[in-house]
Structure 1
Protein backbone atom coordinates (compact mmCIF):
# COMPACT_ATOMS: atom_id res chain seq x y z
CA UNK A 1 0.00 0.00 0.00
CA UNK A 2 2.79 2.42 0.94
CA UNK A 3 4.80 1.50 -2.15
CA UNK A 4 1.75 2.11 -4.35
CA UNK A 5 1.17 5.52 -2.77
CA UNK A 6 4.81 6.46 -3.34
CA UNK A 7 4.58 5.31 -6.95
CA UNK A 8 1.44 7.37 -7.52
CA UNK A 9 2.82 10.52 -5.85
CA UNK A 10 4.72 11.86 -8.90
CA UNK A 11 1.71 11.27 -11.14
CA UNK A 12 -0.62 13.01 -8.74
CA UNK A 13 1.85 15.85 -8.41
CA UNK A 14 2.12 16.19 -12.19
CA UNK A 15 -1.66 16.22 -12.52
CA UNK A 16 -1.94 18.90 -9.89
CA UNK A 17 0.69 21.01 -11.65
CA UNK A 18 -1.20 20.82 -14.95
CA UNK A 19 -4.54 21.74 -13.40
CA UNK A 20 -2.97 24.52 -11.32
CA UNK A 21 -1.16 25.91 -14.36
CA UNK A 22 -4.39 25.85 -16.32
CA UNK A 23 -6.25 27.70 -13.55
CA UNK A 24 -3.59 30.39 -13.27
CA UNK A 25 -3.44 30.73 -17.04
CA UNK A 26 -7.22 31.07 -17.25
CA UNK A 27 -7.18 33.80 -14.58
CA UNK A 28 -4.53 35.70 -16.53
CA UNK A 29 -6.47 35.26 -19.77
CA UNK A 30 -9.58 36.68 -18.12
CA UNK A 31 -7.70 39.84 -17.18
CA UNK A 32 -6.07 40.03 -20.62
CA UNK A 33 -9.44 39.68 -22.34
CA UNK A 34 -10.96 42.48 -20.29
CA UNK A 35 -7.96 44.69 -20.94
CA UNK A 36 -8.02 44.05 -24.67
CA UNK A 37 -11.76 44.69 -24.82
CA UNK A 38 -11.30 48.06 -23.11
CA UNK A 39 -8.37 48.85 -25.38
CA UNK A 40 -10.30 47.91 -28.51
CA UNK A 41 -13.27 50.03 -27.45
CA UNK A 42 -11.01 52.99 -26.75
CA UNK A 43 -9.24 52.62 -30.11
CA UNK A 44 -12.54 52.54 -32.00
CA UNK A 45 -13.92 55.56 -30.13
CA UNK A 46 -10.74 57.55 -30.74
CA UNK A 47 -10.82 56.56 -34.39
CA UNK A 48 -14.43 57.75 -34.77
CA UNK A 49 -13.81 61.04 -32.99
CA UNK A 50 -10.63 61.86 -34.90
CA UNK A 51 -12.19 61.00 -38.25
CA UNK A 52 -15.18 63.26 -37.62
CA UNK A 53 -12.75 65.95 -36.48
CA UNK A 54 -10.85 65.57 -39.78
CA UNK A 55 -7.69 64.66 -37.88
CA UNK A 56 -7.54 60.87 -38.30
CA UNK A 57 -4.73 58.92 -36.65
CA UNK A 58 -3.32 56.70 -39.34
CA UNK A 59 -2.11 53.88 -37.06
CA UNK A 60 -5.41 53.38 -35.19
CA UNK A 61 -6.87 50.96 -37.76
CA UNK A 62 -3.87 48.65 -37.68
CA UNK A 63 -3.78 48.77 -33.89
CA UNK A 64 -7.44 47.74 -33.72
CA UNK A 65 -6.84 44.87 -36.14
CA UNK A 66 -3.97 43.43 -34.11
CA UNK A 67 -5.94 43.96 -30.92
CA UNK A 68 -8.74 41.84 -32.38
CA UNK A 69 -6.23 39.18 -33.41
CA UNK A 70 -4.81 38.88 -29.89
CA UNK A 71 -8.31 39.03 -28.44
CA UNK A 72 -9.40 36.17 -30.70
CA UNK A 73 -6.54 33.82 -29.87
CA UNK A 74 -6.60 34.51 -26.12
CA UNK A 75 -10.37 34.07 -26.15
CA UNK A 76 -10.08 30.81 -28.07
CA UNK A 77 -7.62 29.49 -25.48
CA UNK A 78 -9.94 30.43 -22.61
CA UNK A 79 -12.89 28.85 -24.42
CA UNK A 80 -10.95 25.59 -24.61
CA UNK A 81 -10.68 25.40 -20.83
CA UNK A 82 -14.27 26.56 -20.36
CA UNK A 83 -15.39 23.88 -22.83
CA UNK A 84 -17.09 26.49 -24.98
CA UNK A 85 -15.39 25.36 -28.16
CA UNK A 86 -17.56 24.07 -30.98
CA UNK A 87 -19.27 20.72 -30.42
CA UNK A 88 -21.41 18.63 -32.75
CA UNK A 89 -23.67 16.48 -30.58
CA UNK A 90 -26.06 15.19 -33.23
CA UNK A 91 -24.48 11.74 -33.09
CA UNK A 92 -22.95 11.60 -29.62
CA UNK A 93 -26.17 12.51 -27.80
CA UNK A 94 -27.65 9.24 -29.08
CA UNK A 95 -24.83 7.18 -27.58
CA UNK A 96 -24.83 5.52 -24.21
CA UNK A 97 -23.30 7.32 -21.24
CA UNK A 98 -20.17 5.18 -21.50
CA UNK A 99 -19.72 5.87 -25.20
CA UNK A 100 -20.37 9.59 -24.67
CA UNK A 101 -17.57 9.64 -22.12
CA UNK A 102 -15.28 7.86 -24.57
CA UNK A 103 -16.18 10.32 -27.34
CA UNK A 104 -15.48 13.23 -24.99
CA UNK A 105 -12.06 11.80 -24.14
CA UNK A 106 -11.23 11.32 -27.83
CA UNK A 107 -12.33 14.86 -28.69
CA UNK A 108 -10.32 16.37 -25.83
CA UNK A 109 -7.32 14.25 -26.78
CA UNK A 110 -7.51 15.60 -30.33
CA UNK A 111 -7.38 19.14 -28.93
CA UNK A 112 -4.17 18.25 -27.12
CA UNK A 113 -2.71 16.65 -30.25
CA UNK A 114 -3.58 19.74 -32.28
CA UNK A 115 -2.00 21.99 -29.65
CA UNK A 116 1.24 19.98 -29.63
CA UNK A 117 1.33 19.97 -33.44
CA UNK A 118 0.85 23.74 -33.45
CA UNK A 119 3.68 24.17 -30.94
CA UNK A 120 6.01 22.17 -33.20
CA UNK A 121 4.88 24.15 -36.26
CA UNK A 122 5.48 27.48 -34.51
CA UNK A 123 8.89 26.30 -33.35
CA UNK A 124 9.90 25.36 -36.89
CA UNK A 125 8.44 28.58 -38.29
CA UNK A 126 10.00 30.98 -35.78
CA UNK A 127 13.24 28.94 -35.76
CA UNK A 128 14.78 30.23 -32.51
CA UNK A 129 17.71 27.81 -32.87
CA UNK A 130 18.50 29.10 -36.36
CA UNK A 131 18.25 32.67 -35.10
CA UNK A 132 20.70 31.90 -32.29
CA UNK A 133 23.12 30.24 -34.72
CA UNK A 134 22.96 33.37 -36.88
CA UNK A 135 24.03 35.42 -33.89
CA UNK A 136 20.51 36.86 -33.59
CA UNK A 137 21.12 38.63 -36.89
CA UNK A 138 17.72 38.66 -38.61
CA UNK A 139 19.15 39.55 -42.01
CA UNK A 140 21.68 36.75 -41.87
CA UNK A 141 18.96 34.27 -40.97
CA UNK A 142 16.78 35.52 -43.83
CA UNK A 143 19.68 35.18 -46.29
CA UNK A 144 20.42 31.62 -45.18
CA UNK A 145 16.90 30.25 -44.73
CA UNK A 146 14.61 32.69 -46.60
CA UNK A 147 12.74 33.17 -43.32
CA UNK A 148 11.88 36.86 -43.30
CA UNK A 149 9.85 36.77 -40.09
CA UNK A 150 12.38 38.78 -38.09
CA UNK A 151 13.05 41.37 -40.80
CA UNK A 152 9.47 42.40 -41.57
CA UNK A 153 7.73 45.30 -39.86
CA UNK A 154 4.11 46.39 -39.75
CA UNK A 155 2.89 49.02 -42.21
CA UNK A 156 1.84 51.89 -39.96
CA UNK A 157 2.97 51.01 -36.44
CA UNK A 158 6.39 49.99 -37.73
CA UNK A 159 6.57 47.25 -35.12
CA UNK A 160 8.49 43.99 -35.67
CA UNK A 161 5.94 41.50 -36.97
CA UNK A 162 7.38 38.64 -34.92
CA UNK A 163 6.28 40.41 -31.74
CA UNK A 164 2.68 40.41 -32.94
CA UNK A 165 2.94 36.85 -34.23
CA UNK A 166 3.89 35.65 -30.76
CA UNK A 167 0.18 35.18 -30.19
CA UNK A 168 0.38 31.92 -32.17
CA UNK A 169 2.93 30.05 -30.00
CA UNK A 170 1.37 31.51 -26.86
CA UNK A 171 -2.02 30.24 -28.02
CA UNK A 172 -0.56 26.84 -28.86
CA UNK A 173 0.99 26.40 -25.42
CA UNK A 174 -2.02 27.70 -23.49
CA UNK A 175 -4.47 25.59 -25.48
CA UNK A 176 -2.35 22.50 -24.88
CA UNK A 177 -2.26 23.15 -21.13
CA UNK A 178 -6.01 23.69 -21.02
CA UNK A 179 -6.56 20.60 -23.15
CA UNK A 180 -4.45 18.49 -20.80
CA UNK A 181 -6.40 19.78 -17.80
CA UNK A 182 -9.69 18.95 -19.53
CA UNK A 183 -8.37 15.52 -20.48
CA UNK A 184 -7.39 14.77 -16.88
CA UNK A 185 -10.90 15.72 -15.80
CA UNK A 186 -12.52 13.62 -18.54
CA UNK A 187 -10.39 10.64 -17.51
CA UNK A 188 -11.55 11.30 -13.92
CA UNK A 189 -7.95 11.51 -12.75
CA UNK A 190 -8.68 14.86 -11.10
CA UNK A 191 -12.01 16.27 -9.88
CA UNK A 192 -13.78 18.66 -12.23
CA UNK A 193 -13.99 22.10 -10.66
CA UNK A 194 -15.90 25.12 -11.99
CA UNK A 195 -13.66 27.94 -13.26
CA UNK A 196 -13.41 31.04 -11.12
CA UNK A 197 -14.58 34.35 -12.51
CA UNK A 198 -16.86 32.84 -15.15
CA UNK A 199 -20.57 32.31 -14.76
CA UNK A 200 -21.31 29.28 -16.92
CA UNK A 201 -23.97 26.63 -17.05
CA UNK A 202 -23.04 22.98 -17.16
CA UNK A 203 -22.36 21.94 -20.74
CA UNK A 204 -23.30 18.41 -21.73
CA UNK A 205 -21.98 18.52 -25.28
CA UNK A 206 -18.95 16.53 -26.34
CA UNK A 207 -16.29 19.14 -27.01
Structure 2
Protein backbone atom coordinates (compact mmCIF):
# COMPACT_ATOMS: atom_id res chain seq x y z
CA UNK A 1 0.00 0.00 0.00
CA UNK A 2 2.71 2.59 0.81
CA UNK A 3 4.46 1.75 -2.49
CA UNK A 4 1.22 2.24 -4.40
CA UNK A 5 0.59 5.55 -2.64
CA UNK A 6 4.14 6.73 -3.36
CA UNK A 7 3.74 5.86 -7.04
CA UNK A 8 0.44 7.74 -7.07
CA UNK A 9 2.16 10.83 -5.63
CA UNK A 10 4.86 10.59 -8.29
CA UNK A 11 2.25 10.39 -11.03
CA UNK A 12 0.45 13.39 -9.53
CA UNK A 13 3.67 15.42 -9.71
CA UNK A 14 4.17 14.49 -13.37
CA UNK A 15 0.54 15.25 -14.20
CA UNK A 16 0.73 18.59 -12.39
CA UNK A 17 3.85 19.40 -14.39
CA UNK A 18 2.06 18.47 -17.62
CA UNK A 19 -0.93 20.65 -16.73
CA UNK A 20 1.37 23.58 -15.88
CA UNK A 21 3.22 23.12 -19.16
CA UNK A 22 -0.07 23.24 -21.09
CA UNK A 23 -1.06 26.47 -19.33
CA UNK A 24 2.41 27.93 -19.94
CA UNK A 25 2.13 27.08 -23.63
CA UNK A 26 -1.12 29.02 -23.96
CA UNK A 27 0.27 31.90 -21.88
CA UNK A 28 3.41 32.10 -24.02
CA UNK A 29 1.39 32.21 -27.23
CA UNK A 30 -0.91 34.87 -25.81
CA UNK A 31 1.96 37.00 -24.56
CA UNK A 32 3.78 36.70 -27.89
CA UNK A 33 0.69 37.90 -29.75
CA UNK A 34 0.24 40.71 -27.22
CA UNK A 35 3.89 41.77 -27.49
CA UNK A 36 3.72 41.80 -31.29
CA UNK A 37 0.55 43.89 -31.19
CA UNK A 38 2.08 46.34 -28.73
CA UNK A 39 5.20 46.80 -30.82
CA UNK A 40 3.21 47.30 -34.03
CA UNK A 41 0.89 49.75 -32.29
CA UNK A 42 3.90 51.63 -30.94
CA UNK A 43 5.42 51.91 -34.41
CA UNK A 44 2.15 53.05 -35.98
CA UNK A 45 1.38 55.65 -33.33
CA UNK A 46 4.92 57.05 -33.41
CA UNK A 47 4.82 57.25 -37.21
CA UNK A 48 1.49 59.06 -36.96
CA UNK A 49 3.10 61.49 -34.47
CA UNK A 50 0.63 60.42 -31.79
CA UNK A 51 2.65 58.11 -29.51
CA UNK A 52 0.93 56.32 -26.66
CA UNK A 53 3.18 56.71 -23.66
CA UNK A 54 2.20 53.53 -21.77
CA UNK A 55 3.00 51.09 -24.58
CA UNK A 56 6.75 50.97 -23.85
CA UNK A 57 6.19 49.98 -20.23
CA UNK A 58 3.56 47.42 -21.25
CA UNK A 59 5.99 45.82 -23.70
CA UNK A 60 8.73 45.67 -21.06
CA UNK A 61 6.51 43.88 -18.54
CA UNK A 62 5.24 41.59 -21.30
CA UNK A 63 8.84 40.57 -22.05
CA UNK A 64 9.49 39.99 -18.34
CA UNK A 65 6.51 37.64 -18.04
CA UNK A 66 7.53 35.92 -21.28
CA UNK A 67 11.02 35.38 -19.91
CA UNK A 68 9.98 33.79 -16.65
CA UNK A 69 7.18 31.66 -18.10
CA UNK A 70 9.45 30.57 -20.94
CA UNK A 71 12.25 29.69 -18.51
CA UNK A 72 9.85 27.53 -16.52
CA UNK A 73 8.64 25.72 -19.65
CA UNK A 74 12.23 25.22 -20.82
CA UNK A 75 13.01 23.53 -17.51
CA UNK A 76 10.38 20.85 -18.15
CA UNK A 77 11.34 20.53 -21.81
CA UNK A 78 14.98 20.10 -20.74
CA UNK A 79 16.02 22.98 -22.97
CA UNK A 80 17.90 24.76 -20.20
CA UNK A 81 21.58 25.33 -20.82
CA UNK A 82 24.17 22.84 -19.63
CA UNK A 83 27.96 22.81 -19.71
CA UNK A 84 28.99 19.28 -20.68
CA UNK A 85 32.77 19.68 -20.89
CA UNK A 86 33.17 17.52 -17.79
CA UNK A 87 30.15 15.22 -17.85
CA UNK A 88 30.66 14.04 -21.44
CA UNK A 89 33.97 12.50 -20.33
CA UNK A 90 32.28 10.45 -17.60
CA UNK A 91 30.89 6.97 -17.93
CA UNK A 92 27.18 6.51 -18.63
CA UNK A 93 26.50 5.66 -14.99
CA UNK A 94 28.33 8.72 -13.74
CA UNK A 95 26.57 10.87 -16.36
CA UNK A 96 23.24 9.73 -14.92
CA UNK A 97 24.40 10.62 -11.41
CA UNK A 98 25.55 14.04 -12.59
CA UNK A 99 22.22 14.61 -14.29
CA UNK A 100 20.33 13.68 -11.12
CA UNK A 101 22.49 16.08 -9.10
CA UNK A 102 21.95 18.85 -11.65
CA UNK A 103 18.17 18.34 -11.66
CA UNK A 104 18.16 18.17 -7.86
CA UNK A 105 19.92 21.52 -7.70
CA UNK A 106 17.18 22.99 -9.90
CA UNK A 107 14.61 21.80 -7.37
CA UNK A 108 16.67 23.22 -4.50
CA UNK A 109 16.92 26.57 -6.28
CA UNK A 110 13.17 26.57 -6.91
CA UNK A 111 12.37 25.87 -3.26
CA UNK A 112 14.82 28.56 -2.15
CA UNK A 113 13.17 31.02 -4.53
CA UNK A 114 9.73 30.14 -3.13
CA UNK A 115 10.96 30.83 0.40
CA UNK A 116 12.51 34.11 -0.75
CA UNK A 117 9.28 35.20 -2.43
CA UNK A 118 7.26 34.37 0.70
CA UNK A 119 9.64 36.41 2.85
CA UNK A 120 9.62 39.27 0.34
CA UNK A 121 5.89 39.42 -0.39
CA UNK A 122 5.04 38.59 3.25
CA UNK A 123 1.46 37.34 2.78
CA UNK A 124 1.15 36.53 6.49
CA UNK A 125 2.21 40.05 7.47
CA UNK A 126 -0.19 41.49 4.89
CA UNK A 127 -3.05 39.44 6.35
CA UNK A 128 -2.18 40.60 9.88
CA UNK A 129 -2.25 44.19 8.63
CA UNK A 130 -5.78 43.65 7.36
CA UNK A 131 -4.54 43.56 3.75
CA UNK A 132 -3.63 47.21 4.12
CA UNK A 133 -0.41 47.83 2.20
CA UNK A 134 0.27 51.17 3.87
CA UNK A 135 -0.04 49.69 7.34
CA UNK A 136 2.33 46.87 6.38
CA UNK A 137 4.81 49.40 4.98
CA UNK A 138 4.68 51.44 8.19
CA UNK A 139 5.36 48.35 10.32
CA UNK A 140 7.92 46.49 8.19
CA UNK A 141 9.21 49.07 5.65
CA UNK A 142 8.02 46.71 2.91
CA UNK A 143 6.65 49.11 0.28
CA UNK A 144 5.77 46.41 -2.26
CA UNK A 145 2.02 46.88 -1.86
CA UNK A 146 2.10 50.68 -1.98
CA UNK A 147 4.13 51.19 -5.16
CA UNK A 148 2.67 51.66 -8.63
CA UNK A 149 4.19 51.54 -12.10
CA UNK A 150 5.23 54.81 -13.70
CA UNK A 151 2.90 55.05 -16.71
CA UNK A 152 0.33 52.27 -16.33
CA UNK A 153 -0.20 53.13 -12.65
CA UNK A 154 -0.74 49.43 -11.89
CA UNK A 155 0.16 47.98 -8.47
CA UNK A 156 3.68 46.61 -8.82
CA UNK A 157 2.91 43.50 -6.73
CA UNK A 158 0.57 42.29 -9.47
CA UNK A 159 3.37 42.42 -12.02
CA UNK A 160 5.86 40.90 -9.57
CA UNK A 161 3.62 37.84 -9.17
CA UNK A 162 5.58 36.33 -12.03
CA UNK A 163 8.39 35.53 -9.57
CA UNK A 164 6.45 33.27 -7.16
CA UNK A 165 4.57 31.72 -10.09
CA UNK A 166 7.88 30.97 -11.78
CA UNK A 167 9.34 29.58 -8.56
CA UNK A 168 6.44 27.18 -8.01
CA UNK A 169 6.17 26.04 -11.62
CA UNK A 170 9.93 25.54 -11.98
CA UNK A 171 9.98 23.49 -8.77
CA UNK A 172 7.15 21.26 -10.01
CA UNK A 173 8.86 20.82 -13.37
CA UNK A 174 12.16 20.10 -11.63
CA UNK A 175 10.53 17.45 -9.44
CA UNK A 176 8.97 15.81 -12.50
CA UNK A 177 12.35 15.79 -14.27
CA UNK A 178 14.02 14.42 -11.15
CA UNK A 179 11.53 11.57 -10.88
CA UNK A 180 12.17 10.71 -14.51
CA UNK A 181 15.95 10.91 -14.09
CA UNK A 182 15.72 8.58 -11.08
CA UNK A 183 13.59 6.27 -13.27
CA UNK A 184 10.81 6.31 -10.67
CA UNK A 185 8.29 7.19 -13.38
CA UNK A 186 8.46 6.65 -17.15
CA UNK A 187 9.52 9.65 -19.19
CA UNK A 188 6.50 11.22 -20.89
CA UNK A 189 6.87 13.30 -24.08
CA UNK A 190 5.52 16.85 -23.70
CA UNK A 191 2.20 17.55 -25.39
CA UNK A 192 1.93 20.48 -27.75
CA UNK A 193 5.68 20.76 -28.32
CA UNK A 194 7.41 19.22 -31.33
CA UNK A 195 10.85 18.33 -30.02
CA UNK A 196 13.44 15.94 -31.36
CA UNK A 197 16.18 14.31 -29.34
CA UNK A 198 18.61 16.92 -30.72
CA UNK A 199 16.54 19.85 -29.44
CA UNK A 200 17.38 19.27 -25.80
CA UNK A 201 20.51 20.96 -24.53
CA UNK A 202 20.45 19.48 -21.03
Give 3-state SS (helix, strand or coil) of 1:118's partner.
Answer: helix
Q: Which of residues 181, 188, 199 is equivalent to 2:183?
A: 188
| Gap runs ≥5 in structure 2 | none
So what's the TM-score if we normalise by structure 1? Answer: 0.96
Q: Is the 8 A contact 1:59 1:157 kept in 2?
A: yes
Q: Is the 8 A contact 2:110 2:167 kept in 1?
A: yes
User: 1:7: how far off?
Assistant: 2.0
User: 1:193: how far off?
Assistant: 1.3
Give 3-state SS (helix, strand or coil) of 1:93's partner.
Answer: helix
Q: Which of residues 117, 126, 136 is equivalent to 1:141?
A: 136
Give the Cα–Cα distance (whole angstroms) in 2 for the partners of residues 205 and 87 of structure 1: 10
Tell me whether 1:120 sits opposite 2:123 in the alignment: no
| Gap runs ≥5 in structure 1 | 1-5
Q: Structure 2 vs 1, CA of residues 199 and 182 (structure 1 numbering), >3 Å: closer, same or farther?
A: same
Give the Cα–Cα distance (whole angstroms) in 1 for the partners of residues 152 and 200 of structure 2: 42
Give 3-state SS (helix, strand or coil) of 1:19's partner.
Answer: helix
Give 3-state SS (helix, strand or coil) of 1:9's partner.
Answer: helix
Q: Is the 8 A contact 1:100 1:206 kept in 2?
A: no
Deviates more, 1:182-191 or 1:194-203: 194-203
User: 1:206: how far off?
Assistant: 7.7
User: 1:67: how far off?
Assistant: 0.2
Give the Cα–Cα distance (whole angstroms) in 2 for the partners of residues 93 and 39 of structure 1: 41
Give the Cα–Cα distance (whole angstroms) in 2 for the partners of residues 184 and 88 of structure 1: 22
Question: Structure 1: which 4+ aligned runs deviate by more than 2 Å?
Answer: 203-207
Give 3-state SS (helix, strand or coil) of 1:191's partner.
Answer: coil
Q: Is the 8 A contact 1:104 1:206 kept in 2?
A: no
Q: CA RMSD in A?
A: 1.2
Match for residue 62 of structure 2? 67
Give the Cα–Cα distance (whole angstroms) in 2 for the partners of residues 64 and 179 of structure 1: 29
User: 1:205: how far off?
Assistant: 7.2
Q: Give the count of matched residue pairs.
A: 202
Match for residue 3 of structure 2? 8
So what's the TM-score if we normalise by structure 2? Answer: 0.98
